Structure 1
Amino acid sequence: MARSGLAYPDRFFAAATYVGFGTHSSSNSNSNSKFSNDVALLLYALYQQATVGPCTVPKPRAWSPVEQSKWTSWHGLGNMASIEAMRLFVKILEEEHPGWYSRPSSDPLVDVQMNHNSKVELPTNNEITLPETKTIPTENENSVDKDVMVDGIGSVSVYDQWVAPLVSGSKPKPRYEHAAAVVDDKMYVFGGNHNGRYLNDLQTLYLRNWTWSKVEVKANSEDPVRVTPCAGHSLIPWEGNKLISIAGHSKDASEVVNVKAFDLQTNTWSTMKTNGKPPVSRGGQSVTPVGSNLVIFGGQDGNRTFLNDLHILDLETMTWDEIDTIGVSPSPRSDHAAAVHAERFLLIFGGGTHATCFNDLHVLDLKTMEWSRPSQQGEIPSPRAGHAGVTVGESWFIVGGGDNKSGVSETVVLNMSTLSWSVVTTVQGRVPLASEGLSLVLSSYNGEDILVSFGGYNGKYNNDVNLLKPSHKSTFQATKSATPAHNSGSGAQNATNGSRDADVEFDLGQDAKVREISMDNNEPQIIEINEVSERSIAVLKAEKEELESALNNEKLQSLQLKQELKEAESKNADLYKELQSVRGQLAAEQSRCFKLEVDVAELRQKLQAMDTLQKEVEILQRQKAASEEAFTKQKQKQSSGGVWGWLAGSPPPAQRLNDV
C-alpha cells in the first residue's frame, strides 16, 4: 500500500538517489535489476518530468528503439505537474519495494543510469544462472555466442529468443510428425516418424527440472487395445487426466479416423467409441479444441489424397458431425496450422500438397460456418508446411516448417484481432527450429508463458528441446491498430540485442503495473492501474457470473434437448417399424393391382374381339335379309307371271315341268 503525508520533494530525491538516478556511477550499469522494463521506463519518465519538465526534445531516430522507448514514455506524460510526478515516482517505488526507505542507500535496485543522455540497460525478471549454458544462434546479432541462462521453466533470462535448456534423463528417439501436449507442467510426446518407421512410445518431459522419462504403458484388462505406431496424428488434453490421440498415418490404417484415450492415472490406453459418421482416415490434419468440441480440418488420406473437409467431434456425446460450409473453403492440404480466436473464429494458415506450399490465411466463422479470406497486415510469412503453432492470448505464434527447398528460420506471430504479422526472431543455420514436423506447446510458470518446441526433420531427425519466453512486445504489439508494431525499424533490427524488451516502444497501457494517464480540462489526472484493474476485475467477474449462468442454462437446455432427442429417436424407431409394415402392405397391394391390370388388359382384348364378331354378325344378318328379300321377290315374280307368259307365248309352269 502507498504511504500518505509525504514531503514529496525531499522524499522524491531520496527515492531517486536510492533508485540510482543521477547518483550511480556508470560502473553499475551492468548489474542485475529487480524492476520490470515498463516500470523502469515509467520511473525514468516521471523523474524527467519532475526534474526537467515536459518533454520538448525531438523524437530519436528509428534506429534507436531504446531511446524511442524512453522518449515515448516521457512524452506521454504531457504537461503533468512536477509535484504530481514526484508523488507518483515515490508511490510506484513504495508499491514495488515497500521497505526501500529503511534500506541503506548503497543497496541499488536498478542497474541503470537513467538520465536523458544515458543509454537504458533494461533488466529481465526471474534470472537464475547455472554454471553451464547452451545457446541458439540467431541472425543479426553482434555476438552470436551470447550466454543464455536456464534453470527451470520460468528462469529464462532473455525474451523472444530461442534457448536450449540443459535436459537430463534418457532422451527420446529423434522424430518428426509426432504429437505433444502439456498437462500439469509435464510435456507428453507420443508417436512420430523415426528413420521412416512409425513410433508408438509415450515420453514425458518434466518442465520444472527438464528431465525426460518414458511412460510405462500398462495393459487395460477392460479394453485390451493395441496402440498402433503412427505419425501425423494429434494429441489433445482432456478432463485434466486424459490425453486423446486422434487420426494419424499408420501401416495398418483403418478406413475411418480412430480416437484413443490415454489415462494418466492408470497409464492405460483405451478406444473411445464414437457415434455418427466418422471422417475417412487421415494424417497431417489440424485438430482444434473449441469448448467441448474438436474441429478437424483437412489432411491426407491413406491414398495420399489431400482433403479440405470439416468435421466436428462432440467430446460430451462422442458424436461425429460433418459440416457443410459456405463461402470459398481452403484448397485441399495437409501439415497446416490452425487456431481458434474468441471461441468463434477458426484460422487456417499455410500447409501444402506434394509440390506446393501455401501462405494463405483462411477464417471460418463457427457460428455461420462461412469461410472468408481477410486482408492481412504486416509482412506476410513465406509459404510453408509442417510448421507448428500455439496461441498466447490474441497472439498466434508460428514456428518452423519448410517449403520443399529448405526449412523456415523465422518465428512469426499473428495478432488474431488485427490480423497483423510480425517476426519475433530468426534462427541461423540448419537447426531443429527450422524443421518440418516439429511440435510446439505452451506452458506457464509464475504467470509467464513459455513456448516449448521438440523434434523435427531438416535433413536429419531431431530430439532437441528449445524454449522461448514471449515478451509483451510480441504478444501485444498490434492491439491498438492493424498496422505492424515494427514501424520504427526493420524486423531484423528488432530481433537483436538479447532481450527484445529493450526494443519495445513503451506503451502506458500494456503492463498491469503501468499507470494510465488521462487529461481532463487540460489538467492531469493520474488513475492508478490497480484501481482500474480492480474495477475491471469486478466487471469481469460479473460478466463471468453472467456467462456461467448463461452457460448453465445452455447446458440445461442442451440436456433437455438431448432427452427430447432420445424420445424423438424412440418414437422415430416405432414409426419406422410401422412404415416398414405399411411398405410391405403397399408392396402386396401393388402386386395385386398389377395382376388386376393384366386381367383388365386381357378382358379388353376379348371385348375388342367380341366387337369384331358383332360387326361380322350384323353384316351377315344384313346379307341374309337381303338374300331373303331377293328370294321373295323372285317367288312373287314367278307366281304372277302366267298371263304375261301366255301372252308372250311362254308355257305355264306346269307345262314346262311336263315338257321336262
Structure 2
Amino acid sequence: MTWDEIDAVGVPPSPRSDHTAAVHAERYVLIFGGGSHATCFNDLHVLDLQTMEWTRPTQQGEIPTPRAGHAGVTVGENWFIVGGGDNKGVSETAVLNMSTLVWSVVTTVQGRVPLASEGLSLVLSSYNGEDVLVSFGGYNGRYSNEVNVLKPSHKSTLQSKITETPVPDIVSAVHNVTNPTRDVDSELEVGQEGKIREIVMDNVDQESRKSRGEGTSLIATLKAEREELDLSLGKEKSQTLHLKQELADAETRNTDLYKELHSVRGQLAAEQSRCFKLEVDVAELRQKLQTMETLQKELELLQRQKAASEQALDANHRQGSGGVWGWLAGTPGGQKRDDA
C-alpha cells in the first residue's frame, strides 16, 4: 500500500493548511478555505477525478468569510461548514449546495462558544433514522471538550417555540439567537443554568410532543453514553492504579538489585586489589628467578675456571717430577735442550 502523486491539470489551489475537503457525486473533490502564513481564504476549488483537472467555479449566495481551522461534513448534496476563523472565531454555520454551488447560513451562535472555534471536529451520525451533526472540542482562547449536536431538517419556515428541560453538563448544542425561523428541526443548547434548550417546529401538538419525545430519548441516550464513559474511566483509573503498583514494585526490585550490584562491585574491587598484589609478587619472583639464573651461570663459569686451574697445576706438577727422574737416569735437562 503506497501513496502515489497525481499530475493534475488546470490551476490548483495555492499552498495552504487547515482547509476542508469533501467529495460530491463520487467524482468531484471540493476544497474550501484554509490558511497560509497570516492569510485566510474563502475560495472554492474543484478537482474532477475523471479528468484530473482543477477548476475554480463561481460561488453564489451568502459566501462565507475567509477562515481556517473549520470543519465540514456532507449530508446528501449539502456541505455543512462549522467554526474556523481568521484571528477570531466564526459564529455562523454555513451550508453549500454542491450541485448549485449556492451558499446559505442555517444558524448563528453568539459569544466565544466552542462552535465559534478553530480546530473543532465534526461528524455525521444517525439518530432514530435521522441525520445528526455532532461537533467536539475546538480552541477560541481556551481549549474545549464540549459536545454540540445539530439536527438538520427539510426546508421549513415554521415559527418555533421554546421549551426547557434539565440535561447533563456534558451536552451542549446549537441555538440560533438571530433568526426565529431556521432550517432546523430540533436543536439543543446548554445554558449557564445547566439546562438544555429544545427548539421544535410549531406545526401541530402531536408533532410537538413527538419532537419532545425524541429530545428526551436523545438525552437518555447521551446519559447512557455518559454512564458508559464513566464506567470506562473507572476501569482506566483502576488499571492505572494497578500499573502504578507494578511500577512501585519494579522500583523496589530495582533498588534491591542496585544494592546487590553495589556489593558485587565492592567484592570485585577487593578481588582486583588482590590480583594486583599477586601480580606484584609474581613480578618479584620472576626477578629473583632471573637473578638466580645469572648466579647459576656465574657459578658454572667459576667451576670451569677452577677445573682448568687444577688441570694446569697438575700438569706442572707432573712436569717437575719427570725432570728429577731424568736427571737420575743420566739425561739432564740441559742436554735435552741442546739436542733440541
TM-score by length of 1: 0.25
**Which of 1 and 2 has greater Rg?**
2
Which protein is richer in helix relative to its size? 2
TM-score by length of 2: 0.47
